[in-house]
């Protein structure tokens, strides 16, 4: 394999979904009807959908076979035991609690361990994780290393936790008010950036010193393990499942969305070692999700996830996955489009604020860029900037730390020619960046405004 430079998709296409090719005029009408918010579009009007990598991937023929095998017994189904074995093969925690997706696992865990006066440190909380922490009255604190906040700074493990800041934070608050420390692998909100095993060991040592449990938000664990395999000294010959088990061995539990590295369209789980904690979580699970051997899932979903977990750690898949994301990012970088570097695992993040310096943050440069990419090429990306984070609980509005546009790559879904098309469209828009105008928000809900806000171009 080493002889060839071309990285092919390590699969053949077995069933296809047609894409309807729309015109600029049609897309302008769709934008107007959507109030210039791409969350309001009909996905049938999108040509290449890079809104999220969550639940949007393709399943393999073996996963579809598993769907057929799914056993829908209420309790103790063989599909549950296959799921349990697949999870514990990679993450040998004593208790595995299935949920309908990642945020349900977060909701259950934080309902049990967090609450007013408590604080949860993380490298960077994903939005739902932060929201679930805050919903209990606790505080969500982001302590990623300084390089993780600088789009252009190159660092092999930009998702690492700032160990000194973590130690200082726990000392200042007192270990009694920190119910757990979280590490998100890879660090989605920071650009899909990995965390090294060395850093995880450092976090573990701090947790041990203070007697605190460590949890992984492991949504993109396989992509993180691949970066360790490629970049961390001593791991180039270690198999991916072993690296994953080493990550797990440093933690006391995990939350997971199987919609990412479970290679499934739905699902998740919470896993813990502590018997008492597991019992309290299971009691809540029964209230909100379902019986402990299916959680919020059908037997067939458990099968799809079990099979997905065996496919996601295959080296051919991960090599293709990480290289093909980098292929998009590196092409944009070569074309002079400012992107977060190095390129992360699941997405390319364009720095819209630096591409559109003439649009002030409060005229939403990220939104201007996602609208232009859709108008010109039917590409749907996601604004991660002032639209998403600019409004505060006290009613004020300020610019977010960065105005980024995320192009998230669904797993095993688009081919290189789709990505070449995306590169061509982004370059075309970037060459005419000076022509883009900002937007004004005309309607906004009180919380999570980015999902339903409406805009008018300025």
If the CB atoms of residues 126 and 227 are measured against ligand F0G, the closer one turns out to be: 126
Q: Least distance to ligand F0G from the beta carbon of 348, Å?
A: 14
Q: Least distance to ligand F0G from the beta carbon of 328, Å?
A: 17
- What are the backbone angles phi and psi of residue 293, rounded to the nearest 5°? -100, 10
386 binds ligand F0G per the rule CB under 6 A:
no
Identify whether the C-beta of residue 409 lies closer than 8 Å to the C-beta of residue 325: yes
**Number of residues lying near ligand F0G (CB under 6 A):** 15
What are the Cα distances from residue 239, in Å, to 220, 318, 364? 17, 12, 44
Q: Least distance to ligand F0G from the beta carbon of 135, Å?
A: 14
Task: Give the residue, chosen from 130, 158, 259, 380, that forms a contact with ligand F0G under the rule CB under 6 A.
Answer: 259
Identify whether the C-beta of residue 222 lies closer than 8 Å to the C-beta of residue 244: yes
Q: Which residues 48-77 are close enough to bind ligand F0G by CB under 6 A?
A: 52, 54
- 439-443 and 95-99 beta bridge pairing: unpaired
269 binds ligand F0G per the rule CB under 6 A:
no
132 binds ligand F0G per the rule CB under 6 A:
no
122 binds ligand F0G per the rule CB under 6 A:
no
Residues 6+ apart with CB under 8 A from 147: 153, 155, 158
Stretch of residues binding ligand F0G (CB under 6 A), selected from 61-69, 97-105, 146-154, 195-203: 97-105
Q: x/- site string to ligand F0G, residues 137 to 176, per CB under 6 A?
A: ----------------------------------------
Taking CB atoms, the residue at the shortest distance from ligand F0G is 102
123 binds ligand F0G per the rule CB under 6 A:
no
If the CB atoms of residues 259 and 300 are measured against ligand F0G, the closer one turns out to be: 259
Largest CA distance in the chain: 62
What are the Cα distances from residue 322, in Å, to 11, 32, 316, 334? 15, 36, 10, 18
184 binds ligand F0G per the rule CB under 6 A:
yes
Q: Which residues 195-234 are close enough to bind ligand F0G by CB under 6 A?
A: 217, 219
Q: Least distance to ligand F0G from the beta carbon of 400, Å?
A: 16
If the CB atoms of residues 22 and 193 are measured against ligand F0G, the closer one turns out to be: 193
Which positions touch ligand F0G (CB under 6 A)?
A: 52, 54, 101-103, 126, 128-129, 184, 188, 217, 219, 257, 259, 268
């Amino acid at each position: 394999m080493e002889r060839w430079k071309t990285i092919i998709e390590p699969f053949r296409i077995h069933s296809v979904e047609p894409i309807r090719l729309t015109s600029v005029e049609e897309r302008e009408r769709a934008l107007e009807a959507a109030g210039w918010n791409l969350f309001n579009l009909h996905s049938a009007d999108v040509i290449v959908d890079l809104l999220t990598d969550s639940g949007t991937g393709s399943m393999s023929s073996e996963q579809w076979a598993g769907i057929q095998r799914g056993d829908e017994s209420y309790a103790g189904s063989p599909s549950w035991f296959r799921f349990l074995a697949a999870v514990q093969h990679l993450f040998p925690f004593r208790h595995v609690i299935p949920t309908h997706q990642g945020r349900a696992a977060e909701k259950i865990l934080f309902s049990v361990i967090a609450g007013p006066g408590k604080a949860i440190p993380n490298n960077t909380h994903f939005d739902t994780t932060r929201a679930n922490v805050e919903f209990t009255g606790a505080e969500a604190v982001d302590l990623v290393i300084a390089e993780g906040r600088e789009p252009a700074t190159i660092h092999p493990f930009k998702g690492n936790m700032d160990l000194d800041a973590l130690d200082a934070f726990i000392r200042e608050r007192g270990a009694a008010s920190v119910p757990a420390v979280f590490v998100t692998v890879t660090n989605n909100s920071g650009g899909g950036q990995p965390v090294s095993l060395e850093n995880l060991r450092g976090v573990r040592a701090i947790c041990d010193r203070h007697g605190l449990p460590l949890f992984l938000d492991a949504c993109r664990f396989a992509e993180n393990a691949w970066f360790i395999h490629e970049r961390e000294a001593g791991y180039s010959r270690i198999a991916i499942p072993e690296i994953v088990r080493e990550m797990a061995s440093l933690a006391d539990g995990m939350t997971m969305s199987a919609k990412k590295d479970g290679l499934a369209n739905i699902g998740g789980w919470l896993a813990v070692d502590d018997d008492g904690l597991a019992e309290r979580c299971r009691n809540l699970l029964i209230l909100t999700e379902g019986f402990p051997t299916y959680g919020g899932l059908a037997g067939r979903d458990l099968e799809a996830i079990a099979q997905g977990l065996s496919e996601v750690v295959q080296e051919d898949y991960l090599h293709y996955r990480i290289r093909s994301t980098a292929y998009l990012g590196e092409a944009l970088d070569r074309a002079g489009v400012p992107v977060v570097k190095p390129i992360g695992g699941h997405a390319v993040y364009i720095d819209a604020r630096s591409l559109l310096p003439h649009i002030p943050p409060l005229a939403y440069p990220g939104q201007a860029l996602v609208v232009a990419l859709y108008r010109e090429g039917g590409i749907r990306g996601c604004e991660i900037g002032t639209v998403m984070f600019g409004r505060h609980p006290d009613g004020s509005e300020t610019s977010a730390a960065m105005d980024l546009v995320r192009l998230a790559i669904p797993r095993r879904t688009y081919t290189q020619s789709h990505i070449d098309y995306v590169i061509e469209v982004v370059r075309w828009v970037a060459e005419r960046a000076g022509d883009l105008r900002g937007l004004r928000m005309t309607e906004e809900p009180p919380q999570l405004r980015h999902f339903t806000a409406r805009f008018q171009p300025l």
